[in-house]
Structure 1
Amino acid sequence: MIQVLSIIEDTMVDGPGFRTSIYCAGCRHNCKGCHNPQSWDFDGGHAMSTEDIMRVIEADPYANVTFSGGDPMYQPEGFAELAREIRKRTKKTIWCYTGFTFEALMTNPRQRALLEQLDVLVDGPFVKAERDETLCFRGSRNQRLIDVPASLKRGKVVEYKYSPTSIAV
């Protein structure tokens, strides 16, 4: 089960192309200037099963998937299960937003299990002093777009390079 605030279909702000974004409840980063502070409450929203979420995801064969919040890394088991089902049943890519850094996630076995299912991770807390509205798919300069499979293979962060022709990822 995942504590979900909302699921937004056909959004274009949480990664390239059309996406189905699952916004979860719960975050302890408390970033000043957060654009979604209502997501901090771990009791917000409602519990949804993997199968219920998959019905929404599979209803749009053209939209990829984004996990956001809150912070999905506070519900790593539920999101890892969902990601495995997405992998098994679709060819969709999976992006995830987190206030944790890639390096910190690598040290936590529960969070790493989710990390291993992702295509792109947008990591790091939002830092108001580093806000930059010209960045694609992130709010502050400290946040990174990370190519997760390449990073896991190399054992260090490999940044994902976005270009309008790379919308498949």
Structure 2
Amino acid sequence: MKVMGIHHDSVVDGEGLRTVIFFAGCPHHCFGCHNPESWNLKNGKEMSVQEIMDEVLSNPLTDITFSGGEPFCQAKEVKELARELKKLNKNIWMYTGYTIEQLKSSEDKHVGELLEYCDVLVDGPFIIEKRDITLPFRGSSNQRIIKLK
């Protein structure tokens, strides 16, 4: 997987204390994106599931957030990581520029399988005209927090 970075102890990327994995690659290119260097898949560092697990487990008391970039750009690989994290009973939040409707209608089976491991989905592109810093856990009012589990 191509990973931009892993940050521990976040309190702004989902409920509770979280380890956030920022994946590389994003087709959305939202104007005003807070992480535009993540758009290019080549900007990420290649990491295996085990390397990411080792980093995540170095801080075992946190739950997990997948962000980006766009985690669904690497759905096949990211679902393997999600599967291993769920074996450890980790709660997984996922940020995506896609809507849940787009994800559910995807013809890529890995997208649906990755979605199955997600507890909470924050969906929709960031829209700068709808930016609202008072909203918890999202950047613009069009984005939804959807509890899947």
| Residues 98-150 of structure 1: CA deviation (Å, up to 9, x unaligned) | 0000001001222111001000000000001111110000000000001113x
Aligned to 2:94: 96
User: Which secondary structure state, in structure 1, belongs to the residue aligned with residue 57 of structure 2?
Assistant: helix
Q: What is the distance in 2 between the residues matched to 1:134 and 1:144?
A: 14
User: Which secondary structure state, in structure 1, belongs to the residue aligned with residue 21 of structure 2?
Assistant: strand
User: Which secondary structure state, in structure 2, belongs to the residue aligned with residue 77 of structure 1?
Assistant: helix
Aligned to 1:52: 51
Q: What is the distance in 2 between the residues matched to 1:112 and 1:137?
A: 23
User: Which secondary structure state, in structure 1, belongs to the residue aligned with residue 42 of structure 2?
Assistant: coil
C-alpha deviation, 1:92, in angstroms? 1.4
Stretch of structure 1 that moved more, 115-124 or 54-63: 54-63
Q: What is the distance in 2 between the residues matched to 1:148 and 1:17?
A: 17
Structure 2: gaps (5+ residues): none
Aligned to 1:66: 65
Equivalent AA in structure 2 for residue 69 of structure 1 = G
Number of matched pairs = 147
Q: What is the distance in 1 between the residues matched to 2:111 and 2:125?
A: 16
Q: What is the distance in 2 between the residues matched to 1:141 and 1:83?
A: 27
C-alpha deviation, 1:95, in angstroms? 0.4
Identity %: 50
C-alpha deviation, 1:38, in angstroms? 0.8
Aligned to 1:23: 22
Is 1:127 the counterpart of 2:144? The answer is no
C-alpha deviation, 1:61, in angstroms? 1.9
* TM-score in terms of structure 2 length: 0.96
Q: What is the distance in 1 between the residues matched to 2:27 and 2:137?
A: 21
User: Which secondary structure state, in structure 1, belongs to the residue aligned with residue 86 of structure 2?
Assistant: helix
CA RMSD of aligned residues (A): 0.8
Q: What is the distance in 2 between the residues matched to 1:43 and 1:61?
A: 29
Q: 2:104 aligns with which of 81, 91, 106?
A: 106
| Residues 31-58 of structure 1: CA deviation (Å, up to 9, x unaligned) | 0111111110110121100011011112
Aligned to 1:5: 4
Aligned to 2:116: 116
Q: What is the distance in 2 between the residues matched to 1:148 and 1:81?
A: 19
